[in-house]
């Protein structure tokens, strides 16, 4: 999979994340549920490709700079898939309703972590990958 495809997925994930935040702000529980599952469907597949294919390939790259950056990213942000899965499991509809404020905080923290990973990959990691393939 090339980085252009991954960047397009990043755009889609960003749009879904924004929709989720807007639903949380609006306190629209039905829309929150829809947005969470839409985001889960795309994000889990995307992170699996990155974490199981892209990062290991970049860690093995012949360029020490690419390899070191990929290893740092893997260490710093490699747990995001597990964090997202835990978030989805921990926040049932009943718990969301009974602990709305805590759910908001958890959602914002997760989206911030996701946004940071996407921005750093787009700006730091993917350009190195693209340059190495050129």
The answer to whether 111 and 84 are in contact (CB under 8 A) is: no
- How high is the pLDDT of residue 19? 98
- How high is the pLDDT of residue 1? 61
- How high is the pLDDT of residue 119? 96
- How high is the pLDDT of residue 46? 93
- How high is the pLDDT of residue 65? 87
The answer to whether 35 and 20 are in contact (CB under 8 A) is: yes
The answer to whether 89 and 81 are in contact (CB under 8 A) is: no
Residue with tokens 């805590």: 102
Distances (CA, A) of 67 to 46, 47, 116, 121, 123: 21, 19, 20, 14, 16
Structure-block tokens of residue 85: 């899965």
Which contacts (CB < 8 Å, 24+ apart) does range 27-31 have?
27/100, 29/93, 29/96, 29/97
- How high is the pLDDT of residue 78? 80
- How high is the pLDDT of residue 108? 97
Low-confidence ranges of the chain (pLDDT < 50): none
**Number of other CB atoms surrounding residue 100 within 10 Å:** 14
The continuous run of DSSP H or E covering 74 comes out as: helix 64-77
C-alpha–C-alpha distance, residues 2 and 80, integer Å: 21
What is the model's pTM? 0.90
Residue-wise pLDDT for 7-27, tens only, equals 999 999 999 999 999 999 999
């Amino acid at each position: 999979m090339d980085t252009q495809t991954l960047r397009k997925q990043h755009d889609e994930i960003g749009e879904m994340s924004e929709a989720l935040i807007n639903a949380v702000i609006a306190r629209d529980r039905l829309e929150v549920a829809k947005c969470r599952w839409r985001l889960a469907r795309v994000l889990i597949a995307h992170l699996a490709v990155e974490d199981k294919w892209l990062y290991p390939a970049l860690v093995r790259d012949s360029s020490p700079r690419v390899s070191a950056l990929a290893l740092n990213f893997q260490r710093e942000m490699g747990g995001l898939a597990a964090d997202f899965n835990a978030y989805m499991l921990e926040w049932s509809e009943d718990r969301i309703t009974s602990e709305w404020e805590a759910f908001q905080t958890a959602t914002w923290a997760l989206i911030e972590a996701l946004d940071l990973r996407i921005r750093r990959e787009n700006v730091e990691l993917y350009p190195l990958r693209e340059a190495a393939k050129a």
